Structure 1
Amino acid sequence: MSTADPLLQPFQLKHLRLKNRIISTSHEPAYSEDGLPKERYRLYHEEKAKGGIAMTMFGGSTLVAPDSPPVFGNLYAGNDKIIPFFQEMADGVHKHGAALMCQITHLGRRSVSNAGDWLPIVAPSCVREEVHRGFPKIMEESDIRRIVKAYGAAAKRCQLGGLDGVEIEAYGHLFDAFWMKRTNFRTDRYGGSLENRVRFSLEVLEEIRKQ
């Protein structure tokens, strides 16, 4: 019988081979500057890579569109400014033999409108968010198409930045708001049945794969 610790054994994740099974999951250390992962943010993750973990996940939660502004110290991947910072971060982590992925999301109603470009927060239905107390604009199909594209564009920026993958945050954010009957009262093809309520999420995944 092998006495090797399974946590220290390599793991194959699709195309990505991890040197062990120890990862640091996505979280928000509030080290971002202007929505970007500058030196302090990069060094924080490099230190974990130096320590021997297989993968560090970051950017909890990195935002994809201007109507989901970085109001909680988030990173913002809604434009190309972030790509060189991703590249520098990827180089710093990869040189220690670790992989890195970024968590991307749209906050939906879990945000505020008096930040960033002062755009209205959006959600599948106008249900007030309990903590931040905003009343969201009901998403039109044009909003849905735009945000689906924004997810794909953000994922592409992660790829161009040399990252090894992306993670999508769902709980409490826009994905979750479409899934739950108590926050989705739509009567179109994005509401009602479970098939309809997961349609937005599946369209996002399809758009990311296209990229």
Structure 2
Amino acid sequence: MTDIHSPFTLGRIELQNRFVMAPMTRARANADGTPGPLAATYYGQRAGVGLTITEGTQPSDDGQGYPMTPGIYTDAHVAGWHEVNEAIHARGGHVFHQLMHAGRMSHPDNTPHHRQGVAPSAIAPGEQIYTLGGMKDIPVPRALTTEEVAATVADYAYSAGRAIESGADGVEIHGVAYLIHQFLASSANTRTDRYGGSIENRARFAIEVAQAVIAGIGADRTGIRLSPGFAGFGLNVGPEGPDLFRYLVAELDKLGLAYIHIVHYGADEILHDFRRIWNRAIILNRPARPREDIGKDIASGLADLESYGAHMLANPDFIERVLSDAPLNSADHGVFFGNQPEGPEAGYTDFPTLKAQQEGMSA
């Protein structure tokens, strides 16, 4: 029976354990998309995990969806992320940058060029989005032309190369909720070209992005995040959803990616299907996983690594607390995004370690 604290070989890197810090948007970047001044501290505090996956980083101006999210496509971005990556490596950790193109989940007020969002089709999600001017309706996006789809694929590949240049160990392609998922979903994709209609066509964009990233940085430095059960943001893959994801995972498996990262909602049947289809590492994230279930998916063989979000956000020493069966700090949604009224550290780098709490009690 495999233990979550055991080491693991992922692509070309050796992980010290099988814990993964899940990508978590924190909306604390500078206005130009460079990581904020406390980003290196925040990530360095949590680098005891085997693998850190950064918050979503936009691959282009068009890719930005929310205010104060970081990018990885300019010289300034590369320099800023270099400091973060160095802080993670200094603790023996490894880091993949998540590439996140928000697609239609965007607003002109949130992007550098203040342009309409882009998507597979001109269909609004029917949601509101946060802007620095408050909550606003998401406008109808502009449908990408076939030529622009190819240019967007190239943006992913370019930003992947810049991530490696900044010192990252690899990249994770974000395929949940945003542009890639929008191509998969029949509710967001009514195209009549080679990217719409059939399962094969709707999966084509995800596969082409993976191929382009692999061509630039190597399959063993590339992962992808998917979620067959995600149904938010007006996305619906239709009754053929399980078949679509089985097809997509099988095609991606042929490319030799380092891992797939599954955000799981619902029954485990499709996870067992993926375990049979996929021949390399599976990272599994179960939202709101109970503490007593930590490590169970690895022990059962269903996953090779497990990722954690809010627990990692609130507990910089999460692994030490798990090992010692110590209580966990809690995090509420109110501290997840943006600078807090109490200051930039609040809800970001000020969560106490167990050692600090114990020293405080004995003082």
Partner of 2:186: 181
Query: Does the Cα contact within 8 Å between 1:125 and 1:184 map onto a contact in 2?
Result: yes
The reply to whether residue 69 of structure 1 matches residue 74 of structure 2 is no
CA distance in 2, matches of 1:181, 1:62: 26
Superposition pairs of residues 1-150 of structure 1, within 5 angstroms: 6-34=3-31, 35-49=33-47, 52-59=48-55, 61-69=56-64, 71-115=66-110, 116-132=112-128, 133-150=138-155
Aligned partner of 2:207: which letter? L
Q: Say which of 163, 169, 173 aligns to 1:158.
A: 163
Query: Does the Cα contact within 8 Å between 1:178 and 1:200 map onto a contact in 2?
Result: yes
Query: Does the Cα contact within 8 Å between 1:66 and 1:119 map onto a contact in 2?
Result: no
Higher Rg: 2
Partner of 1:168: 173
Q: Compute the displacement of 1:167 (Å).
A: 1.1
Query: Does the Cα contact within 8 Å between 1:28 and 1:73 map onto a contact in 2?
Result: no
Query: Does the Cα contact within 8 Å between 2:65 and 2:101 map onto a contact in 1?
Result: no
Aligned partner of 2:214: which letter? R
Query: Does the Cα contact within 8 Å between 1:66 and 1:78 map onto a contact in 2?
Result: no
Partner of 2:249: none
TM-score, normalising length: structure 1 = 0.91
Q: Compute the displacement of 1:142 (Å).
A: 2.0
Q: Compute the displacement of 1:41 (Å).
A: 0.8
Q: Secondary structure of the residue that 1:125 maps to in structure 2?
A: coil
Q: Secondary structure of the residue that 1:39 maps to in structure 2?
A: coil
Consecutive unaligned residues of structure 2, counting only runs of 5 or more, are 129-137, 217-363
CA distance in 1, matches of 2:208, 2:168: 22
Aligned partner of 2:25: which letter? E
CA distance in 2, matches of 1:138, 1:30: 27
Q: Compute the displacement of 1:31 (Å).
A: 2.4
Query: Does the Cα contact within 8 Å between 2:190 and 2:196 map onto a contact in 1?
Result: yes
TM-score, normalising length: structure 2 = 0.54
CA distance in 2, matches of 1:87, 1:113: 29
Superposed CA deviations along residues 132-180 of structure 1, whole A, max 9, x for unmatched, are 3310111101211111110001100111111111112122211011111
CA distance in 1, matches of 2:65, 2:139: 16
Query: Does the Cα contact within 8 Å between 1:25 and 1:57 map onto a contact in 2?
Result: yes
Q: Compute the displacement of 1:70 (Å).
A: 5.4
Q: Compute the displacement of 1:72 (Å).
A: 3.3
Identity %: 28
CA distance in 2, matches of 1:118, 1:149: 21
Superposed CA deviations along residues 56-112 of structure 1, whole A, max 9, x for unmatched, are 2212x2111112235333111232321112222121111110111111111110001
Q: Compute the displacement of 1:39 (Å).
A: 2.8
CA distance in 2, matches of 1:184, 1:70: 19
Query: Does the Cα contact within 8 Å between 2:103 and 2:178 map onto a contact in 1?
Result: yes
What is the aligned-residue RMSD (CA, Å)? Answer: 1.6
Query: Does the Cα contact within 8 Å between 2:65 and 2:107 map onto a contact in 1?
Result: no
Partner of 2:306: none
Query: Does the Cα contact within 8 Å between 2:65 and 2:103 map onto a contact in 1?
Result: no
Number of equivalenced pairs: 205
CA distance in 1, matches of 2:191, 2:79: 40
Superposed CA deviations along residues 167-203 of structure 1, whole A, max 9, x for unmatched, are 1212221101111111111111111111111111111
CA distance in 1, matches of 2:18, 2:179: 30
CA distance in 2, matches of 1:70, 1:193: 28
